[in-house]
């Protein structure tokens, strides 16, 4: 079971890298400053590893700040990590930027509910920042972009260089905050020290950015809205600042939501609130809402099934989860069919 726990944790870490790539180098890639995906992902990987070395406080929060360490035995850790990995891997396959913090916390909370042992106050504090930080990112990006609108600003090579630096620090913040999602449960179970956890976790997250980050990078960089190099600096600078500050206080925050919210803030300034009607924005918002609840339900159900032998509760919870996902998928299909119908002038 210990070996399985490590395998799942490091596989999860690789998927975190694949998902986090969009939230870090998406602005530099989308603005055309870094047109080569591989170079963008390599810079992301290096920065993520360096940032992971400063992520000890968030590791402690995931490992012992949400549920007592007494319930994080090896078999529970395996289930928590498996639930989070299933949710994140599905999002990567769909090319949707997803908050690893939300699904990890959701999976840990599922275990806490199963054992009726949960630090509710700390959880509410964390969840409040899931709302505050994306809202702050959207507002800052919107008003800064509004202030710059109409001003004549010279775009030069220094702006491009500044954007790459901003992207680097945003990737640094990803390592500082998100590596804890993979190794925090291992540390909480006493299978790894904090120091070893951030080193090994950082390596696998960096590897995941290189191997799995291409599709999510494309989504965040080019499918939501287009933006200039200066706007890219705003996006990456806001994301890096909010996440690094949160990490210093040990708070796992949704980096991808923060960055995507900043991108939507820029897009709203340029295109108005019509951008909210774009299918990719609607799809991302749906995944944000469903993902923590889904990982919580999967974690709770697996514990009930395999550790408590409560098959009926597990079946009921899983059925509700898949019914929810099926409804979202059906609505997406209907929307796409309607768009296709209108694009063809009402014909087939």
Q: What is the pLDDT of residues 87-120, one digit of tens each?
A: 777 766 666 656 889 999 999 999 999 999 999 9
- Measured distance CA(262)–CA(22) in Å, rounded: 13
Q: Is the pLDDT of residue 8 over 60?
A: yes
Phi-psi region of 150 (alpha: psi -120 to 50; beta: other; left: phi over 0): left
- pLDDT recorded at residue 34: 86
pLDDT band of 318, cuts 50, 70, 90 = confident
For 105-121, the DSSP string reads HHHHHHHHHHTT---HH
- Measured distance CA(212)–CA(15) in Å, rounded: 7
- pLDDT recorded at residue 331: 57
Cα distances from 83 to residues 53, 149, 217, 256, 295, in angstroms, run 26, 44, 24, 19, 6
* Cα pseudo-dihedral 187, 109, 55, 162, rounded to 10: 150
Q: Over the chain, what is the mean pLDDT?
A: 85
- Measured distance CA(270)–CA(103) in Å, rounded: 32
What value does the mean pLDDT take over residues 33-45? 90
* Residue burial 300-327, b: 16+ Cβ < 10 Å; e: rest: bbbbbbeeeeeeeebeebbeebeeeeee
- Measured distance CA(179)–CA(17) in Å, rounded: 9
Q: Is the pLDDT of residue 281 over 90?
A: no
- pLDDT recorded at residue 121: 94
pLDDT band of 20, cuts 50, 70, 90 = confident
pLDDT band of 148, cuts 50, 70, 90 = confident
- Cβ proximity of 18 and 216 under 8 Å: yes
- pLDDT recorded at residue 95: 60
**How many Å from the N-terminal Cα to the C-terminal Cα in the chain?**
54
pTM listed for this prediction = 0.85
Q: Is the pLDDT of residue 153 over 70?
A: no
Task: Give the H or E element holding residue 178.
Answer: helix 157-188
DSSP-based three-state secondary structure for 329:
helix
* Residue burial 39-76, b: 16+ Cβ < 10 Å; e: rest: ebbbbbbbbbbbbbebbbbbbbbbbbbbbeeebbebeb
Phi/psi of residue 208, each to 5°? -65, -35
The residue ranges of every structural domain in the chain are 1-309, 310-347
- Measured distance CA(302)–CA(109) in Å, rounded: 13
Q: Is the pLDDT of residue 176 over 90?
A: yes
- Measured distance CA(190)–CA(188) in Å, rounded: 5
- pLDDT recorded at residue 324: 61
- Measured distance CA(264)–CA(273) in Å, rounded: 9
């Amino acid at each position: 079971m210990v070996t399985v726990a490590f395998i799942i944790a490091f596989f999860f870490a690789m998927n975190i890298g694949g998902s986090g790539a969009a939230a870090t180098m998406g602005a530099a890639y989308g603005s055309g400053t870094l047109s080569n995906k591989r170079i963008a992902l390599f810079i992301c990987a290096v920065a993520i590893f360096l940032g992971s070395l400063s992520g000890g406080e968030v590791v402690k929060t995931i490992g012992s700040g949400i549920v007592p360490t007494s319930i994080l035995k090896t078999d529970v850790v395996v289930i928590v990590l498996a639930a989070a990995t299933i949710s994140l891997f599905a999002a990567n396959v769909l090319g949707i930027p997803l908050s690893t913090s939300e699904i990890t916390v959701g999976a840990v909370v599922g275990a806490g509910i199963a054992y009726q042992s949960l630090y509710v106050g700390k959880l509410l504090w964390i969840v409040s920042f899931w709302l505050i930080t994306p809202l702050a990112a959207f507002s800052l990006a919107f008003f800064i972009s509004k202030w710059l609108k109409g001003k004549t600003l010279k775009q030069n090579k220094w702006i491009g260089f500044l954007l790459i630096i901003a992207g680097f620090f945003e990737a640094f913040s990803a390592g500082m905050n998100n590596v804890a999602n993979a190794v925090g449960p291992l540390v909480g179970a006493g299978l790894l020290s904090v120091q070893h956890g951030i080193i090994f976790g950082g390596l696998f997250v960096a590897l995941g950015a290189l191997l799995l980050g291409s599709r999510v990078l494309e989504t965040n960089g080019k499918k939501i809205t287009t933006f200039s190099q200066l706007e890219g600096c705003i996006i990456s600078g806001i994301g890096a600042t909010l996440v690094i500050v949160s990490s210093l206080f040990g708070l796992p925050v949704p980096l991808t939501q923060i960055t995507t919210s900043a991108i939507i803030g820029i897009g709203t300034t340029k295109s108005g609130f019509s951008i909210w009607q774009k299918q990719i924005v609607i799809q991302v918002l749906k995944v944000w809402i469903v993902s923590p609840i889904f990982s919580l339900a999967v974690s709770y159900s697996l514990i009930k099934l395999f550790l408590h032998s409560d098959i009926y509760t597990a079946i009921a919870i899983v059925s509700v989860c898949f019914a929810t996902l099926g409804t979202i998928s059906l609505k997406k299909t209907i929307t796409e069919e309607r768009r296709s119908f209108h694009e063809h002038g009402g014909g087939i």
